């Protein structure tokens, strides 16, 4: 499928913003949490967007709210000032931290469904969660919808978390990434593009490693080369230094075919990278952490067990 057709499928099936929205204001985290700009000055490769940042509840053309797990979800669009929001662990601190990348086809961000709700889960399990609001929509380059500005924001954020590890009571050797859909692609990009920054260093945080210590990719996209038969996106170069990885996807995913997880898992296995993959017959796409009748939505427990298995949290 052509690049423009693939982008159209993702937008029309999941992130179409046609019709009225419940709000048109910039997104703000819940009380007690503060967004912090990740860039101290000039943002690298900054590009103008059409108007100010907006967020709102997604509805269809008829004005009905689009529901996941019986509830609507909130999008963020026109992000030109990327931020991170730190959610400290509740109760016992395991020392682990996770940077979360919401999905949205690199067009918008599913900020609650695949963002704040993931942080609620992670912090309840004693982990620090850092929610990245990366730049969207982005200029996509190449045939595989790679997004350079999003990768810049992600590298910068992991470096900042490691730089502030002592201050935030985080083990600098237990910092992972977790992403959904396009965010799952960014998990793979971060796992294979960490040897050097893709932007000029701006301060001491950029001297820290941006390699994740573990990676969780949930219904990832853009990992399979669609023009060939079962081949990995050639922009993704897996090595034995790629971090341990957890993959999850449904065979009936209408937006990002399950081949995305399968080809990445095969590459991880070939490189000797510890990896765990779960493929379900049904589940669709963009279910986030919301429980439905589909067994795939029990995935958070699988991730918790895996994190204990690889020594990132106590079992």
Instruction: Give the pLDDT confidence score for residue 66 in this predicted structure.
Output: 84
- Note whether residue 315 is domain-resident: no
17, part of any domain: yes
- State the residue range of the domain holding 255: 3-309
Average the pLDDT over each of 26-30, 99-103, 261-265, 266-270 and give the range with the smallest value: 26-30
What pLDDT was estimated at residue 112?
97
pTM comes to 0.92
pLDDT tens-digit map of 121-145: 999 999 999 999 999 998 877 666 7
- Look at residue 81 and tell me if it is in a domain: yes
Q: What CATH number is attached to the domain comprising 304?
A: 3.40.50.1820
Tally of domains within the chain? 1
Kindly state whether residue 266 falls inside one of the protein's structural domains: yes
What's the sign of the alpha-carbon dihedral 252, 254, 256, 257? Answer: positive
Residue 57 lies in a domain: yes
First to last CA, the chain: 43
How many residues make up the chain in this entry?
A: 315
CB atoms within 10 A of CB 69: 15
User: Band of the pLDDT at 24, cuts 50, 70, 90?
Assistant: low
In angstroms, the CA 14 to CA 29 distance is 23
Residue 258 lies in a domain: yes
Q: 297: pLDDT confidence band, cut at 50, 70 and 90? A: very high
Confidence class for position 16, pLDDT limits 50, 70, 90: very low
């Amino acid at each position: 499928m052509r690049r423009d057709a693939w982008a159209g499928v993702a937008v029309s099936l999941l992130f179409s913003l046609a019709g009225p929205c419940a709000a048109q204001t910039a997104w703000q985290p819940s009380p007690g949490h503060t967004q912090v700009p990740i860039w101290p000055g000039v943002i690298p490769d900054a590009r103008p967007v059409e108007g100010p940042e907006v967020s709102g509840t997604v509805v269809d053309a008829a004005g009905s709210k689009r529901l996941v797990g019986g509830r609507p979800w909130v999008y963020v669009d026109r992000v030109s000032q990327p931020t991170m929001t730190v959610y400290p662990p509740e109760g016992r601190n395991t020392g682990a931290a996770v940077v979360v990348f919401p999905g949205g086809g690199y067009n918008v961000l599913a900020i609650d469904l695949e963002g704040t709700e993931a942080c609620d889960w992670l912090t309840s399990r004693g982990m620090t969660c850092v929610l990245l609001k990366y730049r969207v929509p982005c200029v996509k380059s190449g045939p595989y919808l790679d997004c350079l500005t999003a990768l810049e924001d992600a590298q910068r954020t992991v470096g900042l978390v490691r730089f502030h590890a002592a201050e935030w009571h985080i083990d600098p050797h237990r910092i992972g990434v977790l992403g959904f859909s396009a965010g799952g692609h960014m998990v793979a990009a971060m796992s294979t593009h960490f040897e050097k920054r893709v932007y000029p260093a701006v301060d001491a945080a950029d001297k820290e490693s941006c390699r994740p210590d573990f990676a969780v990719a949930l219904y990832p996209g853009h990992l399979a080369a669609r023009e060939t038969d079962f081949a990995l996106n050639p922009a993704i170069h897996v090595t034995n230094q790629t971090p341990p990885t957890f993959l999850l996807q449904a065979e009936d995913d209408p937006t990002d075919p399950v081949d995305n997880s399968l080809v990445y898992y095969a590459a991880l296995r070939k490189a000797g990278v510890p990896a765990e993959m779960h493929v379900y017959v049904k589940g669709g796409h963009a279910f986030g952490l919301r429980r439905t009748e589909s067994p795939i939505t029990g995935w958070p427990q699988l991730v918790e067990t895996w994190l204990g298995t690889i020594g990132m949290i106590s079992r």
